[in-house]
Amino acid sequence: RAVTAAAADDGRALFLSNSMPIRDADRFGIAKGLDQCAANRGLAGIDGVLATALGFAARSPADGALLLIGDQALLHDAGSLRALGDAKRSGAPPLTVVVTNNGGGGIFNFLPLATNPPGAAADEVVDPDDFEALFGAPHAVDFGALAAAHGLAFARVETDEALATALAERVDFIEAVPAPSRPENVKAHAALEAPAVAAAGAVFVGGAERGAERRGFADLRFERWSGDGPPVMLLHGLFGSRADVERLRADAFPDRAAVLADLPGHGESGGGLACAFDAQVEAVLALCDRLDLVEPDLAGYSLGGRIALGCKRAAPDRVGRVV
């Protein structure tokens, strides 16, 4: 919020990195008065973000730009720091980089395998040390040294006040170190989202045929579109919602009977993000049965793709093709 407010107050454009910054901005709002905001591709994919933000800043009519980026995404494009330094020396429109450094891949702590929830299958249980090494991906990069190597003014901040000062001074490279650990960050998100989740759980948005199917831990919310041919169910990715696959339905399956579902703990569906994988598969299969979908094709990406494969493995005779 501090970064989006600074962009709005100073007349700067805002570029949001994948994966957590764009999700957090979507969840918790962008400050009023922000004229220009952009992102690279969508929710997923963290390569090339700094390079894209530099091009965005160069073409923006605003008074410079701010980039909000995570440590892993910045490290994936650390080579573009040279271009950032070159842009500064050439007098190009300024880009301030704000990197949140929580020492690794914080987004993966939102996955069920981060906590091994009760009921997880044996082959779904991940050793905590293996999780930290493979998904947490901790690092010990000195961002101040990186900034100095490329001739960039640098500030490392650990308080709201220090961040506000660095933003106001338009420091080139700001390293923001959050107080919560990566696991604590998951709890903080859940607490912030709880009121909205509770309010949304009882709401049905108009349009098409909409409904809910209760299956154990989750109320799966869905949209059903009439059409010809075998039915297809579209499953969105991690932290997404059925709205993310609406364009896919319109472009790829305009004439097919289709169901767009919010996965457990996503969108308007009930349940939690930390539910076991098999339980998520069961909920999707139950929705197929409830809607009398005969061998529906399942199309998904990210988490949705994995659940689609899980459905085919668990009930090969009840599911058609998987994409």
- CA neighbor of 285 nearest in space, from 261, 265, 301: 261
* pLDDT per position as a tens digit, 129-151: 999 998 999 999 999 999 999 99
- pLDDT attached to residue 215: 37
From CA 313, how far away is CA 45, in angstroms rounded?
A: 27
Residue 138 has which token pair? 């901790």
Residues of the chain with pLDDT under 50: 202-217
* Torsion on CA atoms 128, 130, 135, 138, rounded to nearest 10: 90
Asked if 135 contacts 105 with a C-beta cutoff of 8 angstroms, the reply is yes
- Looking at the DSSP bridge assignments, the partners of residue 66 are 14, 96
* pLDDT per position as a tens digit, 278-287: 888 999 999 9
- pLDDT attached to residue 43: 57
What sign results for the dihedral spanned by CA atoms 74, 1, 84, 157?
negative
pTM of the predicted model as reported, rounded to 2 decimal places: 0.67
- pLDDT attached to residue 244: 93
- pLDDT attached to residue 162: 97
For helices 49-59 and 81-90, angle between their N-to-C axes, nearest 10 degrees: 20
- Percent of the chain past pLDDT 70, that is, above it, reads 90
Q: From the CA atom positions of the chain, what is the Rg in Å?
A: 22
- pLDDT attached to residue 312: 95
Q: Under DSSP, is residue 33 helix (H, G, I), strand (E, B) or coil?
A: coil
Asked if 18 contacts 8 with a C-beta cutoff of 8 angstroms, the reply is no
